[in-house]
Structure 1
Amino acid sequence: MVALISKPHRQNSYAYQRVFWQIGLVASSLGFCLISTLGIMRPSLTAERIYASYSVVERSISVAALERYAREGILDDELAVYAQYINPQQLEQLRRVLLTRIELTPVAVAQFLYTPQGIILLERLGQIIQTEARQPGFYAIRSALILAAATPDGLTLLNVLRQFPTRSIRINLTRSLQIAEQLDRLVSQTAQAIALVQKDAMNAAFAQPLDVWQLPDLRERGSLSWNQQTLTLSDPRRNRQFLVDMYLPLNLAKPTPVIVISHGLGSDRTSFIYLATQLASYGFAVAVPEHPGSNAEQLRSLLSGVAAEVAQPNEFINRPLDIRYLLNELERLRISDARFRNIDVQHVGVIGQSFGGYTALALAGAELNFEQLQKDCTGLSDSPLWNVSLLLQCRALELPKTGYVLRDPRVKAAIAINPITSSIFGEASIRQIAVPVMIVSGSADTIAPTLAEQIRPFSWLTTPDKYLAVIVGATHFSTIGEATPGSEPIVVPPQVIGPTPEVARLYMSTLSVPFFQLYINNSQQYRPYLSSAYAQAISENSLPLSLVRSLSNTALEQFLR
């Protein structure tokens, strides 16, 4: 069933997607700063001292000393003992971390911390941050975060320490150092993997040079105009209604292939307007559905206390089925509505970001891998949280273990941006993908880390037409479009957004056009754009871009030893 709406309802999806992860980042920072500085994150009016124990050795520092430094920049004798082990830049960073305010209400913080994802975060932090009685700090940390958000100064790490409900805070330094060593290894391996990709890209560009300036500039808009209209689709089988924004090129006499864009968790259909209009200007019919169980509205419901979590496990099934139902309805509209008569629903491309990246790869042929999930998610609460996306992936274990068929044969090519893949699919399922795929990764992605979620999974692909684009310095949010006019953006730390996101968006606009022109339209003249040399030519210093077509899993693992 379908209905037309004249004006789409636009939401501030970018801000709402970020706010979900902010709470996790605050909680994580509470532990990670302690790892590096013996508890340098804990000024509190309730807690008087911070104790760090290692074997039989115990050190402590007063909260008052930390607060004086944070507020006034004064290093008293007590703090100076510890300050000699870190450089001035780290000291200044400590001060900023202590005072940075996160604009979240107590209800929003509480709602997140009572979700399955929030509980796992607290359980992990509780291993490191303990109460005065040396008990895990699970409840104390949760209480401190909620109470801090309710203070006039708002949610800062300084206020979290003030609200900690015991007179002293104890840090398990033995466990902290173990986690720090694991983190150092992960950071080193990620840097090595990115260096390998960059080296391979440079070698490929040197081996096959390209006179880029003889090619039309795909960074510019295409020559075609388009119109935009919104559909309301109702799937009675799933009792699910959702909106779809359509961007239809004008005056096309020949069949027009469809590109579907799937947004990420807590986002919405306005997040990739820039990409939809770019593709429409080059002759594609673009459909941007809004997934109701994992969109910005669902996140608002969570933060206001209406919903229990940001996405139910069945969203792993509903998202691909949303797109299948959309394609079925477009096929029907070809017959009944003249505006859709020229669209080609048998040759479809899919782009997805984050949870949408999962959606794109599921439609391309990757199957849910319950065996891999069971292996990776067992003991999740006891392992270090370097891969935040596992908090979402492991929720799929709540699904009935039946044979889900999510692949759609009409999907002929897929682009997955910052996808979550490692456990929900694993190597066995990634190898099942037979259509052309491009995986896009940001080296500074702390939500779906580049090595675990993109670089290794790319090396598992067996499809002959595969591409890996690595944007050095890009975060999980760099490719998401700007907030729409009239929205109220939420202020977040710059490192969460990342530098020059407009550059990352330009890369996506530029690479998606030739990818779909080649693999959906079979327009061979676009092949030179999908080369290491072209990526190198359009790369900008603020966010360097590398593109490779192959990466051996064996070579990668040997390189990381």
Structure 2
Amino acid sequence: MARLRTHLAALAFGMSLALGGGPASALERFVLRLPFLETEITINFADGESAEQLIQASPDLQDLELASGGKLLPLLRQVFLTPLPLETKALLAGSTGQPLLEQALHAATQVVSLEGVELDDSGRMLTEALIRAERRGQPNILGFLRELPGEQASIDLSRLAEVANRLKTNLEEGVALARSLEAASVTPALREPLRPSWSREVVQVSVPHRPKPMRVLMLQPAALGNRRLVVISHGLWDDPESFEGWGEVLAAHGYTVLLPDHPGSDLNQQKAMLAGDVPPPGPEELRLRPLDVSALLDAISAERVLPGSRLNTDAVAVVGHSWGATTTLQLAGGVPVDSRLKARCSDLKDSERNISWVLQCSWLSGVNQAAVADPRVKAVVAVSPPLRLLFDGSRLESRPAKMLLISGTRDWVVPSGPEAIAPMRESKAVRLGHRLVMVQGADHFSLRSFQGESTPAQVGPVILGWINEQLELDAALTFSAGGWGDERGSLVDVSARL
């Protein structure tokens, strides 16, 4: 039954995401294909209004009801008749026609097919079906499916296996590289609990390209510090607090750390989007996020922020995670191009396709305005950046900032093969001083670190060592000297194999 529950959940999710079309008659049936069981289940909507009637009218469902010992009916009631969240209609209505939703729907069509109607990935048809279901007093999955246009919808679960196998393949080389090389050595003092030696403050900073002030979390060393500045950029639908642990390691070693809250793609934006108040982040955010960082540096230089601190804003380090890591690459001189986006986004069977391509492909219309380098950026740490389709790897030699790329061996969202190893190898980035560190066992979110954790952030020392070296500080820890590993032997510099 657990497997059946998974199949039905996949069906409900896929149907709610992937179907689109113009005016047509209501959906007549859907088919769930289970190739590994050499069977398929057909449900004809005309055979009944309730879950009980659908089971009685379907020999396939009757067999499953008997095989499950009567447990199928309660499950179907839960899947099909549970009311959809009130925000669902508002979310779809607010997202209709937005590139991020369109890319999500396009990706979902790899698993879901619809017959008898032309596909439309704008999301408009989904919203209209929900409205009709509500009017009929059926604001649930079953009512929603009845209102979809077309003749037959089907989900082939073997395609889910194909997607999973492709993602697994895209991780295999990273796993092999990390296992083939010696892990970084450990400096025991860097793994001990931090002694709070910094102040914490949240401020609002006005920036010219945003309608409202930008929230910024600031960590300042209590003593004089080294007067050096690090900016940490969060990822999509995240916030500064998810990376405060990184900042604490840096602040404990003399750095002033600023963590801006990117208002167009942060956690609050996600909440507003789910409530239907705003659309998903648009392609313009690709340009606005780096501008957030540059405007923050301008505010410090003009002493509108941290007046009298005498911070060096001519040589700054930027650190980012996920979309925030992409932001750091733009600031360091990475020029987004549209050639790969145009060539590869439509190919659902591309061998390197991964979850992050939904986001990357949504940037297409904003790419030509997204070259927003900041010459003050001299050091970059990019943790799990979606980058394969955005940058072509050229002109690395002209970038003043050296890049440390960090990737987890279990990152299914931004897998290391296409998003880290291939770009580094093809661009010959290592010859130009850039480096790649793999973290064994890390996924896309496990490297984040929050305020006051019992042990320092896992990647805190390697970030610190890289920035010390690139900003040419006279510090005990540098990347080249090592000592930035962890007790588990997870961090491995694989650059020599690229």
Partner residue, 1:371 = 339
Matched with 1:111 is 94
Cα distance, 1:26–1:416 mapped onto 2, change above 3 Å: farther
Q: CA separation in 1, counterparts of 2:290 and 2:460?
A: 23
State the shift of 1:388 in Å.
Answer: 3.2
Distance 2:84 2:177 in 1: 36
Partner in structure 1 of residue 179 of structure 2: 199
Structure 2 residue aligned with 1:332: 302
Residue 441 of structure 2 corresponds to residue 472 of structure 1: yes
- The CA deviation at 1:351 is 1.0
CA distance in 1, matches of 2:194, 2:405: 24
Task: From the superposition, tell whether residues 464 and 318 of structure 1 become closer, same or farther in structure 2 (CA, over 3 Å).
Answer: same
Map of 1:547 onto structure 2: 492
For residues 402-452 of structure 1, give each alpha carbon's deviation from its aligned partner in whole angstroms, at most 9, with x where no partner exists: 6x6522232222111221111111333667545332222234434333322
Range that drifts further, 448-457 or 383-392: 383-392
The one-letter code matched in structure 2 to 1:50 is: V
Q: Which amino acid aligns with 2:470?
A: Y
Q: Indicate conservation of the 8 Å contact 2:249/2:457, yes or no.
A: no
C-alpha displacement of 1:47 = 6.3
Q: Which amino acid counterpart does residue 466 of structure 2 have in structure 1?
A: F
CA distance 1:423–1:548, shift in 2 (3 Å): same
2:258 corresponds to = 287
- 2:403 pairs with one of 437, 454, 457: 437
1:302 Cα offset (Å): 2.6
8 Å Cα contact 1:126-1:136 kept in structure 2 = no
- The letter of the residue matching 2:493 is V
Distance in 2, matches of 1:430 and 1:163, equals: 54
- Residue type matched to 1:374 in 2? K
Supply the AA of the counterpart residue of 1:346: D
Match of 2:223 in 1: 251
Alignment of 1:79-98 (within 5 A): 79=64
The Cα shift of 1:529 comes to 8.6
- Match for 1:30: what amino acid? G
One-letter code aligned to 2:190: L
Summarize the Cα distance change of 1:455–1:27 in structure 2 as closer, same or farther, 3 Å threshold.
Answer: farther
The aligned residue for residue 202 of structure 2 is 230
Change in Cα spacing, 1:370 to 1:504, as seen in structure 2 (3 Å) is farther
Residue 321 (structure 2) aligned to one of 311, 329, 353: 353
CA 1:104–1:356 in 2, change beyond 3 Å: closer, same or farther?
farther
Task: Name structure 1 gaps, 5 residues minimum.
Answer: 1-24, 35-45, 84-90, 486-501, 540-544, 554-561
Match of 2:468 in 1: 517
Contact in 1 for aligned 2:332/2:380 (Cα 8 Å): yes
Distance in 2, Cα, partners of 1:431 & 1:101? 56
Pairwise CA distance, 1:274: 2.3
User: Contact conserved, 1:148 with 1:160, CA < 8 A, in 2?
Assistant: yes
Residue 78 in structure 1 maps to residue 28 in structure 2: no
Deviation at 1:193, TM superposition (A): 0.9
Residues 328 and 275 of structure 1: CA distance in aligned 2, closer, same or farther (over 3 Å): same
* 1:235 maps to amino acid: V
Structure 1 CA distance for aligned equivalents of residues 348 and 455 of structure 2: 34
CA RMSD between the two structures: 5.0
Letter in 2 for 1:270: E
In 1, Cα distance between equivalents of 2:17 and 2:367 = 39
Amino acid at match of 2:191: R
Aligned AA (2:63): E
1:391 match: 358
Could you tell me how far 1:298 is from its partner in structure 2? Answer: 3.0
Matches within 5 A, 1:29-40: 30=14
Q: Is the 8 A contact 2:191 2:455 kept in 1?
A: no
Between the two proteins, the alignment pairs up a number of residues equal to: 461
- Equivalent residues of 1:218, 1:510 under 8 A apart: yes
1:114-153 map, 5 Å? 114-126=97-109, 128-131=111-114, 133=116, 136=119
Change (3 A) 1:144 1:127: farther
Equivalence for 1:14: none
Amino acid at match of 1:548: D
C-alpha distance after superposition, 1:358-405 (max 9, x if no partner): 11111122111233333333x368979943333332343323736x65
Residue pair 1:351, 1:415 contacting (<8 A) in 2 also: yes
TM-score using structure 1 length: 0.66
What TM-score results when the alignment is normalised by the length of structure 2? 0.73
Amino acid at match of 1:204: E
Which residue identity is paired with 2:357?
Answer: L
Tell me the alpha carbon deviations over residues 78-137 of structure 1, each in whole angstroms, 9 at most, x when there is no partner: 349999xxxxxxx9xx99x96999967322354346532223333444465345647658
Query: Is the CA contact (8 Å cut-off) linking 2:286 and 2:367 kept in structure 1?
Result: no
d(CA) in 2 for partners of 1:248, 1:336: 10
Partner of 1:4: none
Pair 251,115 (structure 1): closer, same or farther in 2 beyond 3 Å: same
Query: How far 1:204 sits from its partner (Å)?
Result: 3.2
Task: Tell me by how many angstroms 1:48 deviates.
Answer: 5.9
Give, in whole Å, the separation in 2 of the partners of 1:549 and 1:337. 42
Assess if the C-alpha contact under 8 Å between 1:478 and 1:505 holds in 2. no
Secondary structure of 2:386 counterpart: coil
